[in-house]
Amino acid sequence: MPKVIALAGKGGVGKTTTTALLIKYLLSRGKTPVLAVDADANANLNELVGLAVGLTIGQVRKELKSELPPGMTRDQYMQMKIHQALVEAPGFDLLCMGQPDGPGCYCAANQYLAMTMDHLAANYQYILVDNEAGMEHLSRMNLRVIDLLLVVSDPSARGIMTAERIAALTGPLGVQTGRKYLLVNRTPSPPSPALTARIDEATTKSDLEPGGLLPQSDSLAEWELAGRSYLELPESEPTVAAAFAIFDRILA
C-alpha cells in the first residue's frame, strides 16, 4: 500500500507551497510514482507545479446525478471519469477535488469515489493530500490511514492554535494517523524567542511533534509571479534546502 501524507492548516499558511516542495523532494529522491490530490476548493497546486487541470472530482460528482451512458454502471462511469481527471506528469499524477458539491445528497457519489480510490491507490508509492483546514476529503476518498500528518502554520499564535485543533480532528473523523508534525512556514531568521516558546508549548501539550521551520523567501514569491513551476527551483534556494532537510528527517 502507498504511504499517505496529508497536509493541513488554516488558510494562507503555505500548505500548497509545502505540498509542491514535497512533490519536488520525492521526485528528486526517486520515491515515485506519486499521486498528489488537491483537496482545497480553491485549487492552485497545479499552478505551482506547472500543470493545467481540465476536470475535477466535483464536476464528476455532478455528472453522476445526470443520465449515464448506455451500458455503464455508476461505478464504471466514476472510474472512467476519475482516470480522465488525472493529470499525468513525469513521476507523479495530480487529481483536483474542485468546488464543494452544493445542494443535494452526494453520498452515493462519494461511495463510488472511495471505491475507485481503492483501485487507484495501489498504483502509487506515495499519496499526498493537500487539504483545507478540515480533513473531510480523507474520509470521502476512503483514506482511513494517514502515515504522516504535516500541519502547516505561519509564525502567528492563531496559526499555531489552529494547527493544534487540526491535529485533534483525526480522532472524531475516525482516521488512523501515524506521526503528526508541526511545520512553521515563513519564519524570520533567526526566529524570535516568543515564536520558539509558542512552538514548544504547542508540541508539548498536543501530539504534534516539532517538524521544523521554513524561512521566509522572496525568491519563491518572485518565482510564482513569473509563472514558473516550483519543481524547477534550485535545491540550493534556502526554503527548498530547509524543506528537503525536514523531509529527509521525517521520511527516513
Show the domains of the chain with their CATH numbers. Answer: 3-250 (3.40.50.300)
Query: Residue 77: its pLDDT value, please?
Result: 84
Query: Residue 96: its pLDDT value, please?
Result: 87
Sheet containing 34-38: give its strands across. 87-89, 92-96, 34-38, 126-130, 3-8, 145-153, 176-187, 208-215
Report how far apart, in Å, the C-alpha atoms of 2 and of each of 55, 143, 161, 245 are: 24, 11, 30, 22
Query: Residue 104: its pLDDT value, please?
Result: 55
What's the distance, Cα to Cα, between the start and end of the chain in Å? Answer: 17
185 Ramachandran zone, left/alpha/beta (phi>0; psi -120 to 50) = beta
Q: CA 53, CA 87: separation in Å to the nearest integer?
A: 7
Neighbours of 79 (CB within 10 A): 19
Question: Which H or E run includes 27?
Answer: helix 15-28
The pLDDT profile of the chain, 252 residues, written as one tens digit per residue, is: 899 999 988 888 999 999 999 999 999 999 999 999 888 767 789 999 999 998 888 888 788 777 888 888 887 888 888 889 999 999 999 998 876 555 555 565 566 667 777 778 889 999 998 887 666 666 666 567 789 999 999 999 999 999 998 888 777 777 788 999 999 999 998 999 999 999 999 999 899 999 999 999 989 989 989 989 999 999 999 999 999 999 999 998
Nearest to 109 by CA among 63, 175, 53: 63
According to DSSP, the β-strands at 92-96 and 126-130 are unpaired
Nearest to 141 by CA among 158, 156, 155, 128: 128
Query: Residue 244: its pLDDT value, please?
Result: 98
- Is the four-CA dihedral 124, 130, 133, 136 of positive or negative sign? negative
Please state the pTM of the whole predicted model. Answer: 0.91
What the block records as the C-alpha cell of 18 is 509545502
Q: CA 45, CA 121: separation in Å to the nearest integer?
A: 20
Residue that the C-alpha cell 514535497 belongs to: 22
Query: Residue 108: its pLDDT value, please?
Result: 58
SS3 162: helix
Nearest to 20 by CA among 2, 41, 54, 46: 46
Residue that the C-alpha cell 445528497 belongs to: 105
